[in-house]
């Protein structure tokens, strides 16, 4: 078993995509790094990866953490634990304790590689106005950095994650690229259904306020292997050769890409110089030690020998710099448990997700559902606009996997047919007529920073090795609920433009769905709504311009401890509507430059 040796230039807590990309920058410059990872290291061998694939194949519930067996000593929440909160508060069944009033419907993974093992890989940049929401629209807060500040780090992050896209299709709402720059790989080809949507979108229009909004379908940047551009060295699956050098369309990106054509943090780990880092897994950071001078003096961790026993040993590791990259929820937990970095009282607050609003329908003709990556195109038309003074921005993801999590086909179709006493050839025909026509549109909606949405800890809720379980307080404000009403209007306009009659629009919000809630419209009518989690935990240690209302400065460095960095999606002051990993890695690379300056 590897153990920490001596003192390091930097200790990074958490070997997910953010942590390892910082480790890569530091080790490339000859800095000595210790990576502390709470979870298991199975992904570090190709056989270990294939065992994940086997677990996924035999799982009944193909949910995002299905391939990754539960680890009692570094627990994660599984989707089946996210119950409809209307039934019972608090929810105690899973790892995260839900205090409501709504359930936080997203999960993450504590394992080597972090949630990048099960993410979808969608990598859009944020639009410039996302960084100045307060100034432009009078809501939320501004970031301490602008799009222009982050732009060079977006470029680096896209190369680090291996993003496939064509920049000439990505200039939404002021997003710009340097003239000499392009993504490392060509775009993933759009699916057949993307083309069907595009035809409808051209004709669709919707009115908000005094403005009509059109819709366009464009390709979505994705961290999955495609045709490399010049100078980009394509990566194979970790621990083997010639596997996963292109996306193969296995259509299981979430929860696992069997060939690792989709980026995971393991890839970056495999590219790092072993002489400069120590990786210690099964080591849960439990406390940051704060010196009298305010600097962090060490990190205390609990090392468990096996997942079958709650026996552990406590150790302390020391370094010049401490970098907490443990995930928005886990990082907040560690800071709270240490009484660290919280003079602003913002640690754990402003927890946000992108509530994922779904609509679904049957297209008049087959669209080839269930083929390819989860999504290959989007409608970016509502990522920014004057409506943001009134309701939240959203990105529209065009799903490739039929009705997907809306109804869990094809099983749900089989159940329904069986219930109607259909069998044999009739059953096959009815499935064949329905399933290939399934369309599902997902609306990734912005959520404003709200102090009451937060992660807390309590001695009442402890895991088997004595670490805190996260206690989640979560609600969705009217700003976001109103965007769901708008999204439904967009959806109807789109479906109608595609020639779909109302009878073939199946969207429904029932009180037994996990994210059920209602919205009271201006005219007093109460309408039902429902949302799913996007798995985008953000905002729990936001950066800012002032130490009074933020946890870190623009370089993700703690206002309170000059040798502490808190990095990851938790650092985002507002969420925009872009999937956050790319932005988090860009912010982390910006932070890494500051770390190199400190280390000299």
Which tokens sit at 517? Answer: 């809630």
d(CA 64, CA 54): 14
Stretch that binds other proteins, among 242-250, 381-389, 392-400, 464-472 (CB under 8 A): 242-250
241 lies in the binding site for other proteins (CB under 8 A): yes
As to burial, measured by CB atoms within 10 angstroms (0-12 exposed, 13-18 middle, 19+ buried), residue 171 is: middle
SS3 content of the chain, % helix, strand, coil (to 5): 30, 20, 50
Report, in Å, the least distance between residue 242 CB and other proteins.
5
Report, in Å, the least distance between residue 221 CB and other proteins.
20
- Which is nearest to 448 in space by CA: 396, 521, 488, 393? 393
Residue selected from 28, 142, 149, 248 as contacting other proteins according to rule CB under 8 A = 248
Closest to other proteins by CB, 242 or 274: 242
Total binding residues toward other proteins, as defined by CB under 8 A: 15
Length of the chain: 600
Closest to other proteins by CB, 243 or 431: 243
Report, in Å, the least distance between residue 418 CB and other proteins.
25
Report, in Å, the least distance between residue 53 CB and other proteins.
8
Stretch that binds other proteins, among 70-78, 105-113, 227-235, 463-471 (CB under 8 A): 227-235
d(CA 384, CA 213): 11
Closest to other proteins by CB, 419 or 425: 425
Report, in Å, the least distance between residue 111 CB and other proteins.
21
Q: How many CB atoms lie within 10 A of CB 202?
A: 13
Q: Who contacts 560 (Cβ-Cβ below 8 Å, separation ≥6)?
A: 294, 340, 341, 342, 343, 547
274 lies in the binding site for other proteins (CB under 8 A): no
Closest to other proteins by CB, 210 or 230: 230
Place of tokens 């800095």: 31
Residue selected from 139, 243, 251, 337 as contacting other proteins according to rule CB under 8 A = 243
* CB half-sphere exposure, 598, CA atoms < 13 A: 19
251 lies in the binding site for other proteins (CB under 8 A): no
139 lies in the binding site for other proteins (CB under 8 A): no
Secondary structure of 318-378 in HEC code, one letter for each residue: CEEEEEECCCHHHHHHHHHHHCCCCCCCCCCCCCECCCEEEEEEECCCCCCCCCCCCEEEE
Q: Is 408 within 8 Å of 384 (Cβ atoms)? A: no
Report, in Å, the least distance between residue 78 CB and other proteins.
24
368 lies in the binding site for other proteins (CB under 8 A): no
* CB half-sphere exposure, 447, CA atoms < 13 A: 30
Beta bridge partners of residue 516, listed in sequence order: 530
Closest to other proteins by CB, 132 or 246: 246
Residue selected from 61, 227, 418, 420 as contacting other proteins according to rule CB under 8 A = 227
**Angle, CA of 571, 479 and 502, to the nearest 5°:** 120
d(CA 451, CA 291): 29
47 lies in the binding site for other proteins (CB under 8 A): yes
Closest to other proteins by CB, 262 or 349: 262
Residue selected from 50, 136, 139, 485 as contacting other proteins according to rule CB under 8 A = 50
Residue selected from 228, 366, 385, 410 as contacting other proteins according to rule CB under 8 A = 228
Q: Who contacts 428 (Cβ-Cβ below 8 Å, separation ≥6)?
A: none
54 lies in the binding site for other proteins (CB under 8 A): yes
d(CA 545, CA 141): 11
Stretch that binds other proteins, among 46-54, 91-99, 528-536, 590-598 (CB under 8 A): 46-54
240 lies in the binding site for other proteins (CB under 8 A): yes
Beta bridge partners of residue 397, listed in sequence order: 378, 442
Closest to other proteins by CB, 185 or 476: 185
Report, in Å, the least distance between residue 228 CB and other proteins.
6
Which tokens sit at 213? Answer: 């909004």
Closest to other proteins by CB, 107 or 236: 236
User: Which positions touch other proteins (CB under 8 A)?
Assistant: 47, 50, 54, 189, 227-228, 234, 240-243, 245-246, 248-249
């Amino acid at each position: 078993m590897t153990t920490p040796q001596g003192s390091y230039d930097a200790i990074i807590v958490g070997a997910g995509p953010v942590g390892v990309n910082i480790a890569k920058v530091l080790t490339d410059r000859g800095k000595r790094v210790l990576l502390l990872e709470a979870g298991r290291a199975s992904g570090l061998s190709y056989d270990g990866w294939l065992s994940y694939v086997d677990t996924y194949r035999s799982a009944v519930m193909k949910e995002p953490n299905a391939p990754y067996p539960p680890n009692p000593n570094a627990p994660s929440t599984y989707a089946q634990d996210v119950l409809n909160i209307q039934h019972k508060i608090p929810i105690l069944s899973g790892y995260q304790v839900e205090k409501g009033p709504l359930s936080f419907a997203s999960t993450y993974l504590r394992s080597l590689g972090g949630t990048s093992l099960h993410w979808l890989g969608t990598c859009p940049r944020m639009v410039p106005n996302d960084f100045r929401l307060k100034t432009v629209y009078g809501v939320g807060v501004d970031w301490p950095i602008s799009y222009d500040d982050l732009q060079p780090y977006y470029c680096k992050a896209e190369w680090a994650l291996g993003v496939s896209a064509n920049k000439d299709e990505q200039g939404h709402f002021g997003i710009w690229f340097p003239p000499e720059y392009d993504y490392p790989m060509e775009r993933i080809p759009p699916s057949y259904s993307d083309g069907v949507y595009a035809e409808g979108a051209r004709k669709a229009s919707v009115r908000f306020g005094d403005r009509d909004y059109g819709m366009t379908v464009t390709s979505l940047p994705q961290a999955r292997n495609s045709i490399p551009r010049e100078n980009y060295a394509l990566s194979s699956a970790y621990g083997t050769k010639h596997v996963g050098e292109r996306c193969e369309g296995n259509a299981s990106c979430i929860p696992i890409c069997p060939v690792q054509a989709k980026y995971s943090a393991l890839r970056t780990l495999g590219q790092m110089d072993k002489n400069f880092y120590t990786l210690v897994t099964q080591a849960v950071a439990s406390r940051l030690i704060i010196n009298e001078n305010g600097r962090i003096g060490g990190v205390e961790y609990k090392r468990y020998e096996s997942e079958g026993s709650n026996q552990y040993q406590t150790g302390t590791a020391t370094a010049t710099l401490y970098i907490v990259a443990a995930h928005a929820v886990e990082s907040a937990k560690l800071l709270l448990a240490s009484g660290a970095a919280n003079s602003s009282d913002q640690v754990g607050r402003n927890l946000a997700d992108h509530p994922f609003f779904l609509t679904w329908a049957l297209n008049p003709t087959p669209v080839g559902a269930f083929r390819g990556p989860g999504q290959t195109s989007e409608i970016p038309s509502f990522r920014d606009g004057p409506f943001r003074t009134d309701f939240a921005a959203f990105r529209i993801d065009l799903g490739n996997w039929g009705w997907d999590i809306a109804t869990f086909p094809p099983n749900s179709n089989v159940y329904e047919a069986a219930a109607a006493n259909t069998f044999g050839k009739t059953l096959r025909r009815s499935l064949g007529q329905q399933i290939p026509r399934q369309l599902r549109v997902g609306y990734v909606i912005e959520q404003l920073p709200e102090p009451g949405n937060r992660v807390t800890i309590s001695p009442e809720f402890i895991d088997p090795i004595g670490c805190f379980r996260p206690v989640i307080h979560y609600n969705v404000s009217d700003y976001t609920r109103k965007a769901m009403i708008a999204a439904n209007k967009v959806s109807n306009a789109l479906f109608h433009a595609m020639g779909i009659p109302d009878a073939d629009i199946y969207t429904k919000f029932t009180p037994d769905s996990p994210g059920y809630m209602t919205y009271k419209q201006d005219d007093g009518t109460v309408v039902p709504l429902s949302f799913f989690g996007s798995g985008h935990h953000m905002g729990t240690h936001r950066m800012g311009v002032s130490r009074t209302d933020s946890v870190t400065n623009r370089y993700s460095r703690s206002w309170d401890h000059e040798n502490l960095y808190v990095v990851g999606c938790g650092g985002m002051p507002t969420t925009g509507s872009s999937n956050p990993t790319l932005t988090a890695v860009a912010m982390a690379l910006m932070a890494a430059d500051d770390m190199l300056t400190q280390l000299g």
